[in-house]
Amino acid sequence: MIMFNGFSHSVMGASHEKTNLVCQDSSAFKVGDHYAVAVVADGHGSKKHFRSHLGSKFAVEATIEAIDRFYEDREALEANLPTNHKLIIKNIEKQIISNWNMKVEKHLAENPVTDEEKSKFTPEEFEAIPPESYYGSTLVAGITGDNYTFGVQIGDGSFVAIFEDGRAVMPMEYNESAPANVTASVCNSNAASMFSSFYAPNRKLIAMYGSTDGLYTSFGSEHDFLDYHTIITSQLVNLDTFKEIIKNNLTKRSRFGTEDDISLSCIYNENLLKDRIDLINKRVAENKKAAADRKAAMLEKKV
């Protein structure tokens, strides 16, 4: 039987410490029966999104609840995925947005906007902000089953997946016109139509990661970003001891990088990882050599 496991962690950015903002990111993972979910969300944090730290938390909860609901009849879901994955993923996206809006409405009803929150706007400015915008957030969610993986995303953030060949890849294809690459948000009125998604059938996943953009922007190159995930994967066999190192490294990346909040969520297949650990370690060594070769090539003078 496949055994999934995972971890998730969010750190507050130094820039938010300086401005007395709370951490705008949220993250979670869940291991279910023959499936697992990794989710991160990045609250927008700007003036009109003054409750976005809650919006990101609601986005994470809304996603896990939506996925759980679709997996209530897992066999039917998995029987339909190969032929109807576009429709199923679209319905999951709609369910996430619906769940999120319900959470926002409930919270707002129980916690009306305070005078202090309103005081930062003129009455006209405040009236112009749609209430759901107070809670605006991005969302990155990856789901894996026994031999397939899919992901949904709205707004910026990244996926990295490592399949059986041990190579780290970004499964969400970059598309200049995709709404996920602009400042899309779960709070947009047409949010359900602004997702980007991917579906990778017939491939066993070793590990998948979702992260908010604070992690990606702490790297000098995409190669380094991918190599980082391969290194983490090589250490997942000792997750209990390695977890602290990951947390500290995320803190270091935030503090010495772009000072943004950072969230990382991971799900992985414990059995397959143990089986392929030698391959993963080989990839780590290959990546290290390739990085040294790239640096040597970069420093070669052309004139």
Partner 1 sequence: MSNEHVTEPEVNETQNVSPLDDFDTAETVSTAPVSDDSILDFDDDPLSATSVSKKSLVIFFLIDTSGSMKGKKMGELNTVMEELIPEIRRVGEADTEVKVAVLTFSTEVRWMYSTPIPIEDFEWARLRASGVTSMGAAFKELNHRMSRNSFLSSPSLSFAPVIFLMTDGYPSDDYKEGLRELQTNSWYKFGLKAALGIGQEANDNILAEFTGSKDTVVHAYSGGQLAQMIKIIAVTSSQIGSKSMTLSDDTNHELGEEDVFAAKQKLLGQQIQELVSTQTDGDDVPFDTGW
Q: Give the x-and-dash track for 204-223 against partner 1 (CB under 8 A).
A: ------------xxxxxxx-
Among 52, 188, 233, 249, which residue sits at the site for partner 1 (rule: CB under 8 A)?
249
140 interacts with partner 1 by CB under 8 A: no
Number of chain positions touching partner 1 (CB under 8 A): 73
Strands 262-269, 4-11: pairing is: antiparallel
Interface of this chain with partner 1, residues 108 to 137, rule: CB under 8 A: 110-111
- Note whether 267 and 207 are within 8 A (CB): yes
Among 65, 78, 117, 146, which residue sits at the site for partner 1 (rule: CB under 8 A)?
65
Q: Which is nearer to partner 1, 83 or 295 (CB)?
A: 295
d(CA 96, CA 64): 8
Q: Which range, of 94-102, 141-149, 182-190, 257-265, touches partner 1 by CB under 8 A?
A: 257-265
225 interacts with partner 1 by CB under 8 A: yes
Strands 36-42, 25-31: pairing is: antiparallel
193 interacts with partner 1 by CB under 8 A: no
Q: How far is the CB of 251 from partner 1 (least distance, A)?
A: 5
Look at residues 34, 26, 30, 29 and name the one whose alpha carbon lies nearest to residue 10. 26
Among 98, 247, 277, 279, which residue sits at the site for partner 1 (rule: CB under 8 A)?
247
**Which residue's structure tokens are 């500290």?**
248
For 269, phi and psi rounded to 5 degrees? -95, 105
d(CA 137, CA 44): 5
Q: Which is nearer to partner 1, 83 or 302 (CB)?
A: 302
289 interacts with partner 1 by CB under 8 A: no
Q: Which is nearer to partner 1, 134 or 216 (CB)?
A: 216
Q: How far is the CB of 179 from partner 1 (least distance, A)?
A: 18
Q: Which is nearer to partner 1, 40 or 92 (CB)?
A: 40
DSSP track, 192-257: GGS-EEEEE-S--EEEEEEE-HHHHTT-S-HHHHHHHHHHHHHHGGGHHHHHHHHHHHHHHHHHHT
Cα-only R_g, the chain = 20
Look at residues 265, 260, 267 and name the one whose alpha carbon lies nearest to residue 43. 260
183 interacts with partner 1 by CB under 8 A: no
12 interacts with partner 1 by CB under 8 A: yes
227 interacts with partner 1 by CB under 8 A: yes
- Note whether 43 and 25 are within 8 A (CB): yes
84 interacts with partner 1 by CB under 8 A: no
Q: How far is the CB of 127 from partner 1 (least distance, A)?
A: 17
d(CA 162, CA 147): 13
Q: Which is nearer to partner 1, 75 or 299 (CB)?
A: 299
32 interacts with partner 1 by CB under 8 A: yes
Give the CA-trace dihedral at 198, 203, 209, 211, to 10 degrees. -10
Q: Which range, of 53-61, 80-88, 164-172, 187-195, touches partner 1 by CB under 8 A?
A: 53-61
d(CA 138, CA 154): 6
Tokens encoding 217:
């922007």
Among 44, 204, 253, 283, which residue sits at the site for partner 1 (rule: CB under 8 A)?
253
d(CA 154, CA 137): 9
